[in-house]
Amino acid sequence: MSRAGAEKRTPEQNRKIWALAGELGFDEGLLRDLVERLTGQRSTSALTRRQAHVVIDELNRLGGKQSPPTIETRRPGMATPQQIHKIRSLERDLGWSDNPKRLRSFMQKYSGGIARMEWLQYDQASALIESLKGVLRSEQRRQQHG
């Protein structure tokens, strides 16, 4: 089960981390200490995309550069734009777009009473996506056999 943001960091992110560390004069030990303090991981290869983003933001901050604001920096821990987009896409695939109450009711039932997507925490949005995928698979199986 893949979760957005929980996927392995990209090679580009890894290069960016090491390049920024080099610009700041960090040796390997100092960088690993920073990575561990921010993420709990000692190795950059063990980072998720989200953790790598946090490290890059901190390195930029330490270097006096401000990273452009992202959903993670503006709303830490909240659903990402990609998650909201995926939820909307699944809503369309299920044929629920014409009745917004359907998604809202489903979301409230399976996300602890949350009534608006913008209020979902990252983990709640991930769980909602997986639940909607399950409903879609069930609908597709029912259509194939019925």
Q: pLDDT tens-digit profile of 100-140?
A: 899 999 999 888 888 888 888 888 999 999 999 999 999 99
Residue 1 located in a structural domain: no
Residue 136 located in a structural domain: yes
Q: How many domains does the chain have?
A: 2
pLDDT value at residue 47: 92
* Domain containing residue 141: 81-145
Residue 89 located in a structural domain: yes
pLDDT value at residue 115: 82
Say if residue 85 is in the same domain as residue 56.
no
Residue 64 located in a structural domain: yes
Whether 133 and 90 have beta carbons less than 8 Å apart is answered as yes
**Cα(3)–Cα(82) distance, integer angstroms:** 11
Please compute the mean of the pLDDT values over residues 19-23 and round it to a whole number.
93
Percent of the chain with pLDDT over 70: 88
Say if residue 63 is in the same domain as residue 96.
no
Residue 73 located in a structural domain: no
Residue 44 located in a structural domain: yes
Instruction: Read off the pTM.
Output: 0.50
Say if residue 63 is in the same domain as residue 91.
no
What are the tens digits of pLDDT across the range 40-69?
888 999 999 889 988 998 898 888 876 555
